[in-house]
A and B are shown apart, each in its own frame.
Chain A
Amino acid sequence: MTSEMISNLYVFVLAGFVGFEVIRRVSPLLHTPLMALTNALDAIVVVAAIIIAGRRGTALSAILGSIAVAAAFSNMVGGFLITDRMVRMFKLSGRGRQKP
């Protein structure tokens, strides 16, 4: 057991609780955008993939890393894009609504 592992565990538990409290408040109206947004945030693994792909290493790690960069980045781009499209659709009733 390393001290790094312990400090990561602290971070994990605290972040888990923060996540729980924050996400509990998300309106069920927005559960689909929530899933799209958390997918996009989770795509932050792209930073680890970039390092694996770009640092001095074997050909294997460069290949695996590059595939991982592409997979994660597609989630980041697509996830933010579709979340934004979805949340823009939610409108209140009342004046000023126009047919597209």
Chain B
Amino acid sequence: MTAAQYLPDFAYIVAIALFILSLSWLSSPATARRGVLAGEIGAALAVITTFFNPELVQFKWIVIALAGGAAIGIPLGMVPMTAVPQRTAMSHAFGALAAALIGISEYYIQIPNISKFEMMEIALEVIIGSLSFTGSLVAAGKLQELLPQRPIVYRGQNYVSLSVLGLAGALALILIFHPAHTVCFLFMVVISLVFGVLLVTPIGGADMPTVISLLNSYVGFTAALLGFVLNAKVLVVAGALDGASGFILSVIMCRAMNRSFTNVMFGAFGQLQVSTAGATEERTVRSATPEEAASILEAANSVMIVPGYGMAVAQAQHKVREFYDVLTKRGIDVRFAIHPVAGRMPGHMNVLLAEADVPYDRLIEMEDANSEFPQVDVALVIGANDVTNPAARHDKSSPIYGMPILEVDKARTVMVIKRGMSPGFAGIENELYYLDKTLMIFGDAKGVVGSLVRELTGGHEH
């Protein structure tokens, strides 16, 4: 053994250190770009080092595959910010696909000389990789609205899904004792692919932040397991980092909805509560025109904007920025209260507003926003619904009871921009809309904010 033989390992260790630095520099926007650069250098170092691996005998297909990967990756890296949730789901799918395929080919290379532990690692890796692949594809389909966003459920669904998973587990068990059963192996792969579809199909659009985070952690742990299979520590570390990240985000998302993992995965929110909607018919709402709303806004000292998925759907973020500019120019203090599950993935609202050039020091987290609301003159809700429902605080019969909300009802005046009176994802009436201090401004988010900007600039567009 000479020192030169360990050179690749040193390169991988440097890559790992750069990955950890990369993530720690991502902790704040000021150092985030440096973090991306560190990650890029680490990844490039690892890839280049691998090219000098003496086991490699042909390069043609590798180069073609790398070119193909770049040809897919570059457009996926250039998507608009509104498409980032589905892009993320697609990249989970690609990551899971790569890991599953490597596991599958490793199985075929190693049989029949394969120990029980190795087989266990491979089976687990291939099962999780395959189900994450199809699960992520379904998630991407829902986010792209190729598939319906509402939960698709049927009676006994959870039993069917769990039996399918059980079957995959049973096949894995057979393989551990009889690794050469290639038919068993193929069947296990197919069953796992089917389970991924069954797992994500029943989950509704509003639960996507949690599902995307969970799939993220599955993909990470698949890569780590692959590291075990191949005895490649660089994969173990990168996979553990990715898995930990997805896991932390899932926990944050679940907490922000006051729900458990099992409830998200098997709960199919939104089916049971539709029946309660009838009781609210005689209640009245106060509606206002953009003109009336603008005159109230002019008199305000502080405005808190609460953006939600509706803002993303209407692509209203740039109009919202104009609105922010107009109010700020008048000396009004404008900030944005961001609920952790607003939008379709963690941090979705922040990137949309940052894209529209809203300074990030104007974006406030839920806890801080809630201590501010009692001093706020106007809370303006744009395309958010359930995360503002005061029923979460006091109505024990409400399905969102206990969910942390943005307490917009504590502001002096509440304005809600909404298309109509339809309930949110959980099918729950929002009692915020019936408060005396609430003004409903009906219309498309982009259109209404545009009219507000026009009113506030006195009709003189520049």
Partner-B contacts on A (CB < 8 A): 1-2, 4-5, 8, 11-12, 15-16, 18-20, 22-58, 60-62, 64-94, 97, 99-100
Interface residues in B204-246 (C-beta closer than 8 Å to A): 212-213, 216, 219-220, 223-224, 226-228, 230-246
Q: Is the interface of A mostly helix, strand, loop or mixed?
A: helix
Do A76 and B105 have beta carbons less than 8 Å apart?
no
In the bound complex, residues from chain A placing their C-beta under 8 Å from that of B53 are: 50-51, 54-55
Q: Smallest distance from the beta carbon of B417 to chain A beta carbons, Å?
A: 24
The 9 closest A-B pairs by CB, nearest first: A81-B77, A73-B69, A31-B347, A19-B244, A77-B73, A93-B359, A78-B73, A74-B73, A31-B346
Q: Is the interface of B mostly helix, strand, loop or mixed?
A: helix
Do A60 and B108 have beta carbons less than 8 Å apart?
yes
Cα-based distance from A76 to B166 in the complex (angstroms): 34
Do A78 and B36 have beta carbons less than 8 Å apart?
no
Taking the complex as formed, is B390 at the interface, i.e. its CB lies under 8 A from any CB of chain A?
Answer: no
Do A55 and B33 have beta carbons less than 8 Å apart?
no
In the bound complex, residues from chain A placing their C-beta under 8 Å from that of B73 are: 73-79, 81
Do B248 and A24 have beta carbons less than 8 Å apart?
yes
Cα-based distance from A42 to B109 in the complex (angstroms): 24
In the bound complex, residues from chain A placing their C-beta under 8 Å from that of B59 are: 54
Q: Smallest distance from the beta carbon of A34 to chain B beta carbons, Å?
A: 6
In the bound complex, residues from chain B placing their C-beta under 8 Å from that of A44 are: 15, 19, 43, 46, 223, 234-235, 238
Q: Smallest distance from the beta carbon of A86 to chain B beta carbons, Å?
A: 5
Given A12-B240, A48-B102, A70-B72, the answer on whether A82 and B230 have CB atoms closer than 8 Å is: no
Number of interface residues of B (CB under 8 A): 114
- 1/0 per position for B63-75, CB-CB distance to A under 8 A? 0111011111111
Cα-based distance from A28 to B347 in the complex (angstroms): 6
Taking the complex as formed, is B291 at the interface, i.e. its CB lies under 8 A from any CB of chain A?
Answer: no
Contact for B36 among A19, A39, A52, A83, CB less than 8 A? A83
Do B20 and A87 have beta carbons less than 8 Å apart?
no
Do B26 and A39 have beta carbons less than 8 Å apart?
no
Cα-based distance from A26 to B245 in the complex (angstroms): 10
> Which chain A residue lies CB-closest to B340?
A28
Do A38 and B62 have beta carbons less than 8 Å apart?
no
Do A12 and B224 have beta carbons less than 8 Å apart?
yes
Q: Smallest distance from the beta carbon of A47 to chain B beta carbons, Å?
A: 4
Do A68 and B101 have beta carbons less than 8 Å apart?
yes
In the bound complex, residues from chain B placing their C-beta under 8 Å from that of A66 are: 61-62, 64-65
Do A71 and B24 have beta carbons less than 8 Å apart?
no
In the bound complex, residues from chain A placing their C-beta under 8 Å from that of B134 are: none
Contact for B240 among A1, A15, A71, CB less than 8 A? A15
Taking the complex as formed, is B319 at the interface, i.e. its CB lies under 8 A from any CB of chain A?
Answer: no
In the bound complex, residues from chain B placing their C-beta under 8 Å from that of A15 are: 236-237, 240-241, 244
In the bound complex, residues from chain A placing their C-beta under 8 Å from that of B348 are: 32
Given A44-B238, A89-B351, the answer on whether A8 and B228 have CB atoms closer than 8 Å is: yes
